[in-house]
Structure 1
Amino acid sequence: MSTDTPIDQTSAFWTVAPGTGELRTEVLPALRAGEVRVRALYSGISRGTESLVFRGEVPASEYQRMRAPFQQGDFPAPVKYGYISVGVVEDGMDDQAAALRGRTVFCLHPHQQRYVVPADAVVPLPNGLPAARAVLAANMETAINAVWDAAPSVGDRIAVIGAGVVGTLVAWLCARIPGTQVELFDIDPGRAAPAAALGLVLRTPDAAATECDLVIHASGSAAGLRSALAMAGFEATVIEMSWFGQQAVALPLGEAFHAKRLTLRSSQVGHLPPARLPRWSYRRRMELALSLLVDDRLDVLISGESDFADLPHLMPALASDGAGVLCHRIRYASA
């Protein structure tokens, strides 16, 4: 995109109909007290959720709960949706906002060249975290919440099913707990190299472990969830991270589910676990996510990069066939 766009104009990506997107020119609002104007450097595509949104597969019952912080429009379309943006604060009105001028920040904002948001909606990147890697922040935040929900313990035998970005990050976090035996499962052998770079072992489902203390499912497939139930040991917990949208999922609850007294629990990043609420805020969780990304090895989770101008052609391809895709980064002209 041209770098000489007028300061009061911006371009944003909209899903205009299920399976179709376009770039729209918008007028930026004037800065008010407590607000900052951000110039995007990178954004990221959240493969699972954004694909469902782009295909128009958000159930009507979830239209309100699924709204992103700075979403415009309504499901199914037209809608401006997304929550992974890294940029530089260009300006701010009052002292708090002005103090952020020139800082590189993360914001839960859709794909857009420039935007105006409250100053407390941006989180400065810690020293040592490059902007290009910070697009993993929302995925890391989701992984943190899942580990909190799962509550793994020292020495646990843990299976993580689904070696996408979130599943791999969950396995990476769990493997840092002393004594844990963590195995990552995926049907795509191409995920072995990124896993190995993070010190993880990737296995295919036919080599599935059994009698696990904890199983975390993040594959986005019904078959993966069925495998998760099969891997769980007696009185074990299965954490479900995948969101299936409108897809119905059939499970073998007539097999050993009851005899093994399994617990099947959901994990969703939109809410902090109850045990954390007295001490943790969403901002503190995001600051933790950003601090954990100060590790060069995590670059292996970014599998590609495209220009912002290519988004209308890129999204249909990613939403229909994400084979081999981990995090796909969007680069803006100012990056």
Structure 2
Amino acid sequence: MSTSTSPNQATSTAYWTVGPEQGELRREELPAPGHGEALVCALYSGISKGTEMVVHHARVPECIAEEMAAPHQEGHFPSPVKFGYLSVGVVEDGPADWVGKTVFCLHPHQDRYVVPVESLTVVPENVPARRAVLTGTVETAVNALWEAGPRLGDRVAVIGAGLVGGMVAKLLRSFPLGRLQLIDVDPAKRAFADTLGVDFCHPDDALPDCDIVIHCSASQAGLERALQLVGDEGEIIEMSWYADRRITLPLGEDFHARRLSIRASQVGVVARARRHRRTTADRLELAVSLLADPVFDTFLTGTSAFSALPDVVQRLSDSSLHALCHVIEYPADDAPATETTR
């Protein structure tokens, strides 16, 4: 499906979810940038598998559809909707001091787009543009650590060695903790943890009496294990989003007797502990600066051409393609779809 445009109207191409497990590229009109706006030519975008698969499967609960809308999203859940939030490009037109800058934007998958310059975060020269697609995920991890507030000598467990869990563990690696374990049921994740410099273990072998457990597995079993691993009066930071799934927990056991706490972390607002002294722009600038570390390339597990995006999303959905963060490349010549995996 395509949107009709006038012959002289500039256009762009964007990815839209048009039904359950259905996506397509649509051509649409591209407005000229107005005062304080910039035209961005995309270089790369990243697929945030967890949330984007929820959208792909039309599983965003109606009661929170408005709250879950991404910046610059168009359309409404369940569909048709233009969704996504990990885009890196170069400013092609706009204020003179922005033209030519490489920028990150919380924008859906689209080859060219116009946004207010306030929506852009400049990518430092020591951060490659491809790696910078992780800015939004690092931002999520930063927010969780602001929520958790780990202290000197703490014993911390991260359950779920996926994109978000691995990112949290990577950032925690630089904290002066007493203990840090990255926990997952998949033994193949050990090599990933080793690359990050973090101790790995199976849930059955994880050490108890944690001060903080950060849960990222999006599974009932993972959250149950978090309740078992956290120490008395300890806190679980819940980063998983279950969408329309119902989760059952054994709160009739020792949850009350040990005075445990489960607290949500969601990147939509700055964590309460920093909300009065940090803006979302501050948080993004911090996140992109952290990406100077080359170890973050470990999270980038494949690249495909923009023209292949509908097929890539479906393959991620049916698990025929495995990835932490799959990168979409926007070649200037609109080359045929190609794919590489690491």
Question: Which residue of 195, 202, 205 corresponds with 1:204?
Answer: 202
| Equivalent position of 2:97 in the other structure | 99
| Equivalent position of 1:82 in the other structure | 84
| Equivalent position of 1:309 in the other structure | 307
Question: Which residue of 306, 314, 330 corresponds with 1:332?
Answer: 330
My pick for the range that moved more, 249-258 or 52-61, is: 249-258
Cα distance in 2, alignment partners of residues 334 and 176 from structure 1: 39
Match of 1:127, SS state, is coil
Query: In the superposition, relative to structure 1, how do residues 179 and 17 fare at CA in structure 2: closer, same or farther (>3 Å)?
Result: closer
Cα distance in 1, alignment partners of residues 263 and 53 from structure 2: 24
| Equivalent position of 1:40 in the other structure | 42
Cα distance in 2, alignment partners of residues 262 and 107 from structure 1: 38
Q: Does 1:247 align with 2:249?
A: no
Amino acid in the other structure paired with 2:203: P
- Alpha-carbon offset, residue 322 of structure 1: 7.5
Query: TM-score scaled to structure 1, two decimals?
Result: 0.95
Query: TM-score scaled to structure 2, two decimals?
Result: 0.93
Gap runs ≥5 in structure 1:
1-5
| Equivalent position of 1:3 in the other structure | none
Q: Does 1:71 align with 2:69?
A: no
8 Å contact from structure 1 (residues 40, 112) kept in 2 = yes
Spell out, residue by residue over 1:118-164, the C-alpha distance to the aligned partner (whole angstroms, 9 max, x if none): 11111110120000100111110000000010111110010000111
- Alpha-carbon offset, residue 319 of structure 1: 2.1
- Alpha-carbon offset, residue 194 of structure 1: 2.0
Amino acid in the other structure paired with 2:122: P
My pick for the range that moved more, 137-146 or 297-306, is: 297-306
| Equivalent position of 2:19 in the other structure | 17
Q: Runs of 4+ in structure 1 displaced over 6 angstroms?
A: none
Spell out, residue by residue over 1:176-211, the C-alpha distance to the aligned partner (whole angstroms, 9 max, x if none): 111331000011222222211111122111212211
| Equivalent position of 2:167 in the other structure | 169
Gap runs ≥5 in structure 2:
1-7, 334-342
8 Å contact from structure 1 (residues 40, 334) kept in 2 = no
- Alpha-carbon offset, residue 12 of structure 1: 0.4
Question: Within 5 A, what are the aligned runs for 1:106-117?
Answer: 106-117=104-115
- Alpha-carbon offset, residue 320 of structure 1: 3.0
Cα distance in 2, alignment partners of residues 133 and 146 from structure 1: 21
Cα distance in 2, alignment partners of residues 143 and 221 from structure 1: 19
Spell out, residue by residue over 1:30-55, the C-alpha distance to the aligned partner (whole angstroms, 9 max, x if none): 22111100000000011111100110
| Equivalent position of 2:278 in the other structure | 280
Amino acid in the other structure paired with 1:304: G
| Equivalent position of 2:340 in the other structure | none
| Equivalent position of 1:189 in the other structure | 187
Q: Does 1:154 align with 2:156?
A: no
Query: In the superposition, relative to structure 1, how do residues 274 and 316 fare at CA in structure 2: closer, same or farther (>3 Å)?
Result: same
Cα distance in 1, alignment partners of residues 155 and 28 from structure 2: 51
Amino acid in the other structure paired with 1:123: T
| Equivalent position of 2:232 in the other structure | 234
Amino acid in the other structure paired with 1:303: T
Question: Within 5 A, what are the aligned runs for 1:1-12?
Answer: 8-12=10-14
> What's the C-alpha RMSD, in Å, of the aligned pairs?
1.6
Amino acid in the other structure paired with 2:250: P
Q: Does 1:260 align with 2:258?
A: yes
Match of 1:22, SS state, is strand
Cα distance in 1, alignment partners of residues 322 and 309 from structure 2: 18
Spell out, residue by residue over 1:245-301, the C-alpha distance to the aligned partner (whole angstroms, 9 max, x if none): 000000011112112110110000001122312211100000000001100111011
8 Å contact from structure 1 (residues 155, 179) kept in 2 = yes
| Equivalent position of 1:126 in the other structure | 124
Match of 1:325, SS state, is coil
Query: In the superposition, relative to structure 1, how do residues 318 and 217 fare at CA in structure 2: closer, same or farther (>3 Å)?
Result: same
Match of 1:98, SS state, is coil
8 Å contact from structure 2 (residues 236, 263) kept in 1 = yes
8 Å contact from structure 2 (residues 316, 322) kept in 1 = no
- Alpha-carbon offset, residue 324 of structure 1: 4.2
Query: In the superposition, relative to structure 1, how do residues 51 and 229 fare at CA in structure 2: closer, same or farther (>3 Å)?
Result: same
- Alpha-carbon offset, residue 325 of structure 1: 1.8
My pick for the range that moved more, 18-27 or 6-15, is: 6-15
Cα distance in 2, alignment partners of residues 334 and 125 from structure 1: 20
Cα distance in 2, alignment partners of residues 323 and 236 from structure 1: 37
